[in-house]
Amino acid sequence: MTLKTIFNKPVDRPIEGVIKADDEASLRLEIEEYVLTNEVEKRLESFLDAYNNYEGANGVWVSGFFGSGKSHLLKMLALLLENRQIDGASALDLFLPKCGDNEILRGDLKRAVAIPSKSILFN
């Protein structure tokens, strides 16, 4: 067995170092390849619960170590909450397969995309 065989996707495919915000093919690939870990799934459920049951002040603080994926997570959230159309599919439709059997997360995501929103990302 080689290391290459344990990966779902070809390891020799091109990976862009910088992705343009308006490049739909890259955005679609980024959503499709996003890995929803158990920890992120739990935190996403908590975030969506607060988002869907808004009661006042808005804003979210995301913290983590350098290189832990904060910016990537925020980009996914922005695409999802706006339910951006990417290459003929909605961000939600591209992301839902990652939820597996988690019907609560699926429902929370569907409810969240029904709330009009606009995300402004900056680093």
State residue 111 phi and psi, 5-degree precision. Answer: -65, -40
Q: Is residue 18 part of a domain?
A: no
Does 117 fall in a domain? Answer: yes
pLDDT digits (tens, 9 = 90+) for 29-62: 889 989 899 999 999 999 999 999 987 767 778 8
The average pLDDT across 23-32 equals 86
Q: Confirm whether 73 is domain-assigned.
A: yes
Q: Tell me whether residue 109 is in a domain.
A: yes
Structural domains of the chain, count: 1
pTM attached to this predicted model = 0.80
Range of the domain at 119: 23-51+67-123
20 or 48: which leads in pLDDT: 48
Contacts 24+ apart (CB under 8 A), 82-85: 82/117, 82/118, 82/119, 83/113, 84/27
